[in-house]
Amino acid sequence: MTRQKAKSGTTTNKYKKLLPKFKEEFPFLKEANSQSLQEAVKWLDRAFKNFFRGIAKFPNFKSKKRTNSVSIPQHFCIEGNRVKIPKLKKPIRFIKHREIEGKVKSITITKTPTGKFYLNVLVDREIEPLPKTDKIVAIDVGLTTFCTLSSGEKIEKPKHLIESEKKLKKLQRQLSRKQVRSNRFIKLKRKIAKLHERIRNQRDDFLHKLSKRIIGDNQAVIVEDLNVKGMLKNSRLAKHIADASWRKFVQFLEYKAKLYGRGLIKVDPFYPSSKLCSRCGHKNEELKLSDRKWTCPKCGAEHDRDINATLNLLKEGLTRLKRVVGVDCPELMPVEGAVAPCEAGSPSLK
């Protein structure tokens, strides 16, 4: 056990000992099962630790009325489409989206802002790694297109998602004209919450499908690491939204890579992937954000801005892979001269 782990365990236990006292002071706590209360204590402990480590904001107070999730680690029972929860007399019926595979570890019930309840089931199961392939791909984020792959493929955001985002903008403008807390204001607010939820579902669906396909097709994926401190402060809304969904996309790629035995390589976001010529390495300082296509003044290569950037990312990622020991995919280590510059298409590892 590491030192940090041991430490976190003792603080949580200290808080847990206070629970009986809390129950006396706040009798409503007795309505819940004690394991869930302990779980909440664990979450609080983690939230404070993250705050003191400087990686999260100060924990928000969650009132009894606004609590939106509860974790039940023990003494629950799932049978068919019913779940029995401790301290509740009757089992609760739910709609099963998919069959539960593997050993159930714990369940969490969450409530969305629009009042829908979800039952999340945590399971332990073995997953077969995908068969090996020799393809590597680099992905670059865009503002106009969602992302570009080094294979030359450009991926657009689905139309229905763009439509929903446009609609949200319109509703938010309407909201700013309404009198705060008036009936119309509240009604519109509810509508906006619903739309937010819809957008989140549409975006997650799109990102899950895309990341699954990319991880399935490639042995390693190279991305820009936007998850760097200070990058969160972005004044341009469009950029902010794009970054947020990019971060989520990288998260999805990361956990799917781990799940299926693939590698994910992150490249420093300050690496000037757009400005470098992927053929000769010349840095074009004059390149503007509006230039979608450009010609290298040194070697005369004609570039599509996004594809050129992915080819540079690919090169940088492969160099990193060779340099850094202990990356996610050591079987990819002996890569030599794998990139054919200026050629769109996944390079071979052989």
- 298 sits near Zn ion (criterion: CB under 5 A): yes
Closer by beta carbon to Zn ion, 311 or else 338: 311
- Say which DSSP state 106 is in: E
d(CA 245, CA 226): 11
- 280 sits near Zn ion (criterion: CB under 5 A): yes
- 302 sits near Zn ion (criterion: CB under 5 A): no
The alpha carbon dihedral of 140, 208, 211, 153 has a sign of negative
**134 catalytically annotated:** no
- 296 sits near Zn ion (criterion: CB under 5 A): yes
Q: Which of 39, 224, 254, 316 is catalytic?
A: 224
Q: Which residues of 103-137 are buried (b: 16+ CB within 10 A; e: fewer)?
A: eeeebbbeebeeeeeebebeeeeeeeeeeeeeebb
CB of 192 to Zn ion, least distance (A): 48
* Interface with Zn ion (CB under 5 A), residue from 196, 247, 282, 322: 282
Q: Which stretch binds Zn ion (CB under 5 A): 89-97, 190-198, 251-259, 291-299?
A: 291-299
Closer by beta carbon to Zn ion, 266 or else 279: 279
* Interface with Zn ion (CB under 5 A), residue from 238, 259, 299, 340: 299
Q: Which stretch binds Zn ion (CB under 5 A): 134-142, 174-182, 196-204, 296-304?
A: 296-304
Interaction mask 248-277, Zn ion, x per CB under 5 A: -----------------------------x
The whole-angstrom distance between residue 66's C-alpha and the CA centroid of its chain comes to 24
Residue 71 β-bridge partners: 108
Q: Which stretch binds Zn ion (CB under 5 A): 20-28, 77-85, 292-300, 321-329?
A: 292-300
Angle between helices 183-217 and 159-177 (to 10 degrees): 160
d(CA 64, CA 10): 26
Give residues with Cβ within 8 angstroms of 24, minimum separation 6. Answer: none
d(CA 138, CA 78): 42
In contact, 250 and 138? CB cutoff 8 Å:
no
In contact, 147 and 136? CB cutoff 8 Å:
no
Q: Which of 39, 45, 254, 306 is catalytic?
A: 306
Q: Which stretch binds Zn ion (CB under 5 A): 9-17, 52-60, 185-193, 278-286?
A: 278-286
Q: Which residues bind Zn ion (CB under 5 A)?
A: 277, 279-280, 282, 296, 298-299, 301
Give me the active site residues, please.
Answer: 140, 224, 306
